[in-house]
Structure 1
Amino acid sequence: MNIESANERLRHLLDVLSSVQVRPIANGLRPKIAVQGTASVTQIQTNRYVYNQEALLKYPVPQLSKTLTKYLETVRPLLSNEDFKHAEQLVSDFQNPNSTANKLQALLEKRAAEMDNWLTDWWQRVAYLEYRMPVTVHVSPGITLPRQNFKGLEGQLSHTVPIDKLGQKPLCMSQYYQMLSTCRIPGAKRDEMVTYPGDHPKAPKHITVIHNNHFFTVPVYGSDGAQLSMKQLIGQFEHVINQSQSPAPPVGILGTDKRDNWYKAYTKMCKDKKNKQNFEEIQRSIVVLCLDKSINDNHHDEVTSMLYEMHNGSGSQCNSANRWPDKTIQVVVGPEGQIGCSCEHATAEGPPILALLEYCLPFVEKDIPESSPAPGVALPTRLDFSISPDISDMMVSSCQALDSTIQDLDLIGSKFDVFGKNVPKANKLSPDAFIQVALQLAYYRMYGHPVATYESGSLRLFHRGRTDTIRSCTSASLEYCQTMVNPNSSISEKVQKLRDAVMAHRKYTDEVIKGQGIDRHFLGLKLIALENGIDLPKLLTDPVFESSCYWQLSTSQVPTKSENILCFAPVVPDGYGVCYNPMEKSMLFAVSAWNSCPDTNAAKLYSHLKEALIDAQDILMQSQNSNL
């Protein structure tokens, strides 16, 4: 790679990697964020909860009776009459005064009274840190960002990132304070997270840059604490590229393996003092920057190829080893200007990460004044690892395992440009609910039956809130699907069923984001029982209950102003992962499945989804025309 092409890549990178400094304001009400030009870098300062977290509500424990009523409502479209009667009996038994349900509810309410959020620590532990499958492919999402024609590359601007809101209600910003200088560390049975905020004695002044599988610690501040100028920072990256022309052993590939395998390799490598120091340098760094090599992807279109690159690195012979999968944010830059991000999921959801990245983009289009060079700039330091023969064998095994998983992944990305959220909005319908109902119809047409569907619902109205499940399959959505496939249904019937299904989804969504979902409540009852040595009630171990949580459709809406796509893998062997970005006049989709399942096909489901969206638009237009 020549320096000219490297500089072009760096310009793309440096614009996206505009710095963000989270600083407390005197009154402690809002986080101030300084977004700087190319010579800057993100630092998390002392107070990680400077936004008025105290004003946020505590996450509630829903009433048990309401949760059980909603449970029966959500399983009804999935069950035969016989199975539904069985579910009703289990719910009745669960509510019996002699059942342990009331005791579990009381214990959960006690936990809620004693903690700022009764769920979040549990959720991070059981959903992420104790999950032993690889984070690469199975957990971490990939994000593609639009290519930019940048103008400003230099200087420093101070701005305040708008506090996220739902309507006029502020959302919890705590996830923003755990994105940077944060890393996951493998453990024997449970991993851990480490964060180095600005007041930490080891607070970082560097980023980690990976090129050709080589790892470098790259200082981004001078000896007096001044941020490096654009020219200085480009010089740092040129040094990295010049010092890493040939590939290094794929140390980064070890972190893509199953967590227990990675823990064994990590523990063995840490016996060498230098290796242990190198790991800590990576863990402390503000972010990881992956300077990727060009790949010849003849099997996918450009959008899908970028999704593979950001999601998993496209394989061990491409860029999968040019990663540190445990880092919360890895900014990925390709040689043709591709930009994206890979996110470790334990501390933050995709939407806040995307919001932060997207917020930085507009500032790089401005002309930014030249900054003065920082004094006392230290050169990048290559992190050389001591690799024993058994670690080399582990690398080979990790490469084979990851390549096999990537080959099994059936992933597509596409832009639906027939219409965007303008159509449902013009018809006074929620765009998210509109898309979810279309997904139900797409699946129903493909398989002939409804499906348990997970949509991620934000709990950020609450202090340290994460997510709960929006159960998108409803009796109303099933009736809509049945009406749409019935050749005798009238347009007015179809439109009414569409509106009913959208309203049902909107109602359930509103309940979830207000802390009245059922899935995290059930999880809490399970975990509080396990912690107290109490046998689980039959309801929570029954096959009907478990099947209602078998998410063959795992979905998420990640709306942004620019053409960004987030993707993730299915969560069950015979399922799909569907992520979408509804824009004003178009929609972006990423659909995934597993090739090893003969019954799933990402392209086929997406084809049905496009048809379902267009059909919904058509019946709305026909209904309007008939009323003229």
Structure 2
Amino acid sequence: MYKDMKQISSVKEGPTPSHAVISGKGRIFVFDCLHTDGTLITPQEILIVLQRVRTILDYEPIGDCVPILTHGDRTTWANNYLRLQEISEKNRETIRIIESSSIVIAFDENEPQSYEEISLFCVNGDYHSKWGDRSSTIIAYKNGRFACVGEHSAYDGTISVSYALFVQLSMYETPEPDWSSTDTSKVVALKELKFDLDVELQKEIERTKVECDRRRNDVIVTHDSFNEYGKDVIKTWNLHPDSFVQVIMQLAYAELHKEIASTYETALMRHFYNGRTETLRSCSSEVYKFIQIARESKSSTSEIVTSFRNAVNHHNHMMNEARKGHGVDRHLFGLWCIAHENQIDVAEFFDDPLYIKSGGGGNFILSTSTLGYSTNVGFVAPMTLDGYGVFYTITSDTIYIQITAFRDSIKTSAHKFNETFQRQFLKIKRIMEAVNNSKL
């Protein structure tokens, strides 16, 4: 149905797309970011284009809302995608323009008041205007706040975070333009993209609207920051920041749920050609031993710190092994794919209850990832109904954390997990300082 397409090329390879797409209230517009002479349009000219679109959205009716079809279940959307293309050449060209555009900006009518609301509206905001299969879409909320949402099958999710960071930094580094200065001799053409729709697709649009409204509040998202310390302090303890956070996360889960959890952490394999990711199963025997000691009232601070260091260092070692390609999950997934694609019976191992309980087959209770060392955080929904998504970035003095959970789960609570997580950071800091002070 859908395949990755290379849109960016070198100068020798020929021209690349230079158009941008703006969507809002179920309508889609396109304009070219280059003048006919090949020069870039100016920020002032972009502002005029955005103002023109905003005026249309404010004073004209809602559009046909075709983008909402991309938010249906994948099989249904695949069928609707083919149907759209079959109806007319115009539709095929419209889809090509959307998919190949250099950037997509979606106007969302919501007005979030916090980072948590910004995150929630990424998930349950304006479905009518976001083309779900786009690898990256910048969301502009009505009150001037921004977010970035993307479908990252074609690349590592951390690239979206880096992309947003580069945009952020460029805004800091580039002086604000003189908005009153505009070259009126050059007019940027703006065109609205419209689809040919039959009765069947019109019904599908209405059905998908109902489906999206029903699922609107399925996912709970928290956005918080731990401000007591960050990687600078962690490094003074000679511990790796990511491994440090992962082990504390395991302790937090055990404190809240009185059990351990199968855990997925993304291990990047970018030093391999076309390398993507491997799974680090970070709930190790060393972590389990630490949790037992940390939760035992008779344990001394020295015992807790020793077991904590062992768990953190083991995690760091296993992360390095996973990055070298020594993990098991991608190998097993490859075997499963080969069997499936060649219509060979899949090994019984993949249906074994213990394999599933360990997280196999996309059943990890904790789906986690570190997203680098900036202030930009991202998230996805949990893998399982009674699971969590835990995503974080670590700066010099702060740890930014986003946690997701399903509202229908009677077991999980994203907010309680976040509170417990923060308490464990403080607990470990007190213990580490107590041991260090005793050595003075």
TM-score by length of 1: 0.65
**2:67 maps to amino acid:** G
Q: In 2, distance between residues paired with 1:444 and 1:587?
A: 20
2:417 matches 1:417: no
Specify every segment of 5 or more residues in structure 1 that has no aligned partner in the other structure, as ranges. 1-186
Aligned to 2:175: 367
Aligned to 2:417: 605
Over 3 Å counting, the alpha-carbon distance change for 1:525 and 1:268 in structure 2 is: closer
How many residue pairs match? The answer is 429
How far the C-alpha of 1:560 sits from its partner, in A, is 3.4
2:151 matches 1:344: yes
CA RMSD of aligned residues (A): 2.3
2:427 matches 1:620: no
Aligned to 2:71: 256
Q: In 1, distance between residues paired with 2:134 and 2:266?
A: 23
**1:302 maps to amino acid:** S
Question: What does 1:193-204 align with in structure 2 at a 5 Å threshold?
Answer: 193-198=4-9, 203-204=16-17
Aligned to 1:221: 34
Q: Secondary structure at the match of 1:449?
A: coil
Q: Secondary structure at the match of 2:224?
A: strand
- Spell out, residue by residue over 1:568-618, the C-alpha distance to the aligned partner (whole angstroms, 9 max, x if none): 100111111010011111111110111111111111111111111111111
Over 3 Å counting, the alpha-carbon distance change for 1:308 and 1:511 in structure 2 is: same
Q: Secondary structure at the match of 1:566?
A: coil
Do the aligned partners of 2:240 and 2:316 also contact (CA within 8 Å) in 1? yes
Aligned counterpart for 2:269 among listed residues 456, 459, 467: 459
How far the C-alpha of 1:214 sits from its partner, in A, is 1.2
Do the aligned partners of 1:223 and 1:376 also contact (CA within 8 Å) in 2? no
Aligned to 1:584: 396
Do the aligned partners of 2:253 and 2:417 also contact (CA within 8 Å) in 1? yes
**2:138 maps to amino acid:** V
How far the C-alpha of 1:257 sits from its partner, in A, is 0.6
Do the aligned partners of 1:229 and 1:374 also contact (CA within 8 Å) in 2? no
How far the C-alpha of 1:527 sits from its partner, in A, is 3.0
Question: What does 1:500-539 align with in structure 2 at a 5 Å threshold?
Answer: 500-531=310-341, 535-539=345-349
Over 3 Å counting, the alpha-carbon distance change for 1:437 and 1:602 in structure 2 is: same
Aligned to 1:564: 376
Aligned counterpart for 1:211 among listed residues 4, 24, 31: 24
Aligned to 2:53: 240
Do the aligned partners of 1:227 and 1:374 also contact (CA within 8 Å) in 2? no
Aligned to 2:242: 432
How far the C-alpha of 1:538 sits from its partner, in A, is 4.5
Do the aligned partners of 1:593 and 1:600 also contact (CA within 8 Å) in 2? yes
Q: In 2, distance between residues paired with 1:508 and 1:198?
A: 37
2:106 matches 1:290: yes
Do the aligned partners of 1:290 and 1:332 also contact (CA within 8 Å) in 2? yes
Q: In 2, distance between residues paired with 1:595 and 1:193?
A: 33
Question: What does 1:35-434 align with in structure 2 at a 5 Å threshold?
Answer: 187=1, 191-198=2-9, 203-245=16-58, 246=60, 247-270=62-85, 271-295=87-111, 302-310=114-122, 312=123, 314-315=124-125, 319-365=126-172, 366-367=174-175, 377-434=187-244
Aligned to 1:75: none
Q: In 2, distance between residues paired with 1:209 and 1:519?
A: 39
Q: In 2, distance between residues paired with 1:431 and 1:376?
A: 52
Q: Secondary structure at the match of 1:617?
A: helix
- Spell out, residue by residue over 1:515-561, the C-alpha distance to the aligned partner (whole angstroms, 9 max, x if none): 11111122223334445565555444422222212200000100233
Q: In 1, distance between residues paired with 2:214 and 2:308?
A: 41
**1:367 maps to amino acid:** P
Aligned counterpart for 1:492 among listed residues 302, 307, 312: 302
**1:341 maps to amino acid:** C
Query: Structure 1: which 4+ aligned runs deviate by more than 6 Å?
Result: 199-202, 368-372
Over 3 Å counting, the alpha-carbon distance change for 1:387 and 1:239 in structure 2 is: same
Aligned to 1:469: 279
Aligned to 1:593: 405
TM-score by length of 2: 0.91
How far the C-alpha of 1:294 sits from its partner, in A, is 3.4
How far the C-alpha of 1:292 sits from its partner, in A, is 2.1
How far the C-alpha of 1:291 sits from its partner, in A, is 2.1
Q: In 1, distance between residues paired with 2:240 and 2:313?
A: 8
- Spell out, residue by residue over 1:447-486, the C-alpha distance to the aligned partner (whole angstroms, 9 max, x if none): 2221110000100011111100011101111111111111
Q: In 2, distance between residues paired with 1:532 and 1:249?
A: 41
Q: In 1, distance between residues paired with 2:255 and 2:214?
A: 31
Do the aligned partners of 2:293 and 2:307 also contact (CA within 8 Å) in 1? yes
Do the aligned partners of 1:224 and 1:376 also contact (CA within 8 Å) in 2? no
How far the C-alpha of 1:336 sits from its partner, in A, is 2.4
Specify every segment of 5 or more residues in structure 2 that has no aligned partner in the other structure, as ranges. none
- Spell out, residue by residue over 1:331-382, the C-alpha distance to the aligned partner (whole angstroms, 9 max, x if none): 1112322122111111112212222331233333333788995976441100
**1:608 maps to amino acid:** T
